[in-house]
Amino acid sequence: MIKTKKQGSLIIISGTTCAGKGSVIKKLLANHNDIVLSISYTSRPKRESEIDGVDYYFVTKEEFEKKIAAGDFLEYAQVHYGDYYGTPKKEIIKQLEKGKDVILEIDVQGAKQIKEKFPETILIFIMAPSMEEVKRRIKMRGDENDEQIVNRFRHAYQEINQVNNYNYVVVNDDLQEAVSKVEAILVSEKLRVDRIEEIAVENEEEIIHEFLMDKDFDNSVRPIE
């Protein structure tokens, strides 16, 4: 009776440093073949462990700026040390039209830009259970000095102040539980009334007539007055 829109959902997942949003996304992709991850472009140098076309599309600053001029990005930002990061438009629209849900792992600045252009975007913010836990996770990495850790904390607090711009907040205390909560969010979004394309019902009188004439229906029974 109900026909829902085939268009996929655009999903933004952001989070504070060491909140584990990357781990949540990996689990979602492993659990659902109808969800894909958008790969961003960046002008920063590729790290030794990274793979072009998997972690990012790595381009030069000049190439990135040509793409900006051509309108190839849904959003972009120039961040640390002048490096560009951007979300490609063409590939995302292609996946959405196929009925795929597309996840964007971007920061609050990029999320705001996309939400303004696409109000139906689902915004999910992943948080660590506490800033003490964030500190513990950063120290476990062991690859940053005190100044870098302080900068991470400062940035994390700035991002937390933007939570009200999101639709949902999920605390990642237990990874599997956090993934289950995000999955529940995506299911509920699929059931929204505004995703209904049409409701196919027959004429009310015809339905009642067929029901009354059904051989399995005892129409000799009269209601109690």
Local structure of 152: helix, strand or coil: helix
Paired tokens of 170: 């999920």
98-122: burial string, b at 16+ Cβ within 10 Å, e else: eebbbbbbbbbebbebbbeeeeebb
Q: Give the residue extent of every domain in the chain.
A: 2-38+100-213
pLDDT digits (tens, 9 = 90+) for 36-55: 999 999 999 998 888 999 98
* CB count in 10 Å sphere of residue 55: 14
- Cβ–Cβ under 8 Å, residues 24 and 179: yes
- Cβ–Cβ under 8 Å, residues 110 and 20: no
Place domain 2-38+100-213 in its CATH homologous superfamily: P-loop containing nucleotide triphosphate hydrolases (3.40.50.300)
Confidence of residue 122 (pLDDT cuts 50, 70, 90): very high
Q: What is the pTM assigned to this prediction?
A: 0.78
pLDDT digits (tens, 9 = 90+) for 62-87: 999 999 999 999 999 887 678 999 99
